[in-house]
Amino acid sequence: MKILLVNKFHYRKGGAETYYLTVGSELERMGHEVAYFSMKHPNNLPCKWDKYFVTQREYNDVKNPLSAVRDGIALIYSPGAKRNFQALCEEFRPDVVHLNNVHRQITLSILDAPYLKEHHVPVFYTAHDYVTVCPGYLMLDGEGRVCDACLEDGKYRHCIENRCVKGSRAKSALAAFEASFNRAHHSNERIDRVIAPSRFMRSKLIEGGWPEGKVEALQNFADDAILARASGVADDVTDRESPYLLFFGRLSAEKGVDVLLRAFDAAAPSLPRDMRLIVVGDGPDAAEFRELAESLYSAPRIEFAGYQTGDALQIYVERASLAIASSRCRENMPYSIVEAFAAGTPVVGTRIGGIPELVTDGVTGFACEPGDVATMADAMVRGAEAFLDAPVYVRMQESCRAYVRENCSRDKFMDQLVKLYEEAVNG
């Protein structure tokens, strides 16, 4: 088959880009032909199809007001993107088009390319966030509270009223107008199949109006290094001389790091005296979180290790007693939890989004309520008790690794994805 993959960035910027590029390389390995459509960017990987890529557009840190107006209009609908996409389709002649993150920089205008209708090309879309049912894409309002307002009555004005996009009324208005335009233009109806990486996301997409038969729950895969760690000989390298709980990820409000810090402070008297909390990562609220940590009674037991990656990050993960997924937003399928599981590190996770599909209380970790200091502190204490009970902890470590082996296989994912492609093409 010939598959055309679409994503706004053509470099490994985040999880969506890793997914998009890895799916492409795996399809090629399986003998399929692959082309790419993306946005021009100085960090892009080399690509033979980049002559068709669209002009780079930024909606954050815009300095030129005229550019802001021009790019704001292009956010809604881009005739240029449609023209370039049509030209690429005419040259490549795809059997399947698979969209990833396309809203705002590329837009769904590309689905109006005549080639798709003339040749009955099925269109797939992997939902890396909730943007097709929530203009703010995180299902959080401007104050960081979980929000279903747009799903409940189908009116996107809530996004503007609540300043759901980065706390900005202007950006929220653009997002709401984009969502309204796509609905009026029936853009989503041009998509034949939606891939949801968690059962929770599938349920929310259906609640937001997607036909149940169009949405397939298909959990994301893990990379080779993670699968190798989960499948290899399990040497326990957990630090028992100086044990610690670990948060690693983006330091931003929706990740619930403030709740995590207060929960650790509340749990500290009941934890082993030498158990610390290490926070790894960086983000827009890092300074605020550091200031909060310094104000707590347990401040001497809290360490901020900054941004880490590669082997340095892996050492933190595999030596931790527990990892913490403290999100207050509806995470899809947090990659950090899969990384922790592969290292044999159980996870304290909030009961929100796709996290409960990974963290089973007493089996692969300990569950708590999002935004709730008391239940998170209790989960930490229960986790520390399990850590001190060697047979219990070893069983949990093996359950974590088994989850990755059984549910995160790249080969299994690709076989399922290609089967869906074939069904769509033949159907």
Please name each of the domains of the chain with its CATH number: 2-128+192-221+409-426 (3.40.50.2000), 224-407 (3.40.50.2000)
| pLDDT at 423 (0 to 100) | 96
- pLDDT per position as a tens digit, 272-281: 999 999 999 9
Q: Report how far residue 340's alpha carbon sits from residue 248's, in angstroms, rounded to the nearest whole number.
A: 10
Helical (H) or strand (E) element with 2: strand 2-6
Q: C-alpha angle 393/399/403, rounded to 5°?
A: 150
The structure's pTM equals 0.87
- pLDDT per position as a tens digit, 335-360: 899 999 999 999 999 999 999 999 99
| pLDDT at 66 (0 to 100) | 44
* Mean pLDDT, rounded, of the chain: 92
Q: What are the DSSP calls for 90-146, one per residue?
A: HHH--SEEEE-S-TTTT-GGGGG-HHHHHTT--EEEE-SSSTTT-TTSSSB-TTS-B
Q: What average pLDDT does this structure show over 407-411?
A: 93
Report residue 403 as tokens.
């989850």
Q: Where does the pLDDT of residue 296 fall: very low under 50, low under 70, confident under 90, or very high at 90 and above?
A: very high
Cβ atoms of 267 and 348 within 8 Å: the answer is: no
Instruction: Please give the share of the chain, as a percent, with pLDDT higher than 90.
Output: 80
Report residue 405 as tokens.
């082996």
| pLDDT at 14 (0 to 100) | 80
Q: Where does the pLDDT of residue 65 fall: very low under 50, low under 70, confident under 90, or very high at 90 and above?
A: very low
- Is the pLDDT at 69 greater than 50? The verdict is no
| pLDDT at 71 (0 to 100) | 57
Q: Where is average pLDDT lowest: 64-73, 155-164, 321-330? A: 64-73
Pairing mode, if any, of strands 302-306 and 276-280?
Answer: parallel
- Is the pLDDT at 70 greater than 60? The verdict is no
More confident site: 387 or 228: 387
- Is the pLDDT at 68 greater than 60? The verdict is no
DSSP bridge pairs for 325: 349
DSSP 3-state percent helix, strand, coil across the chain (nearest 5): 50, 15, 40
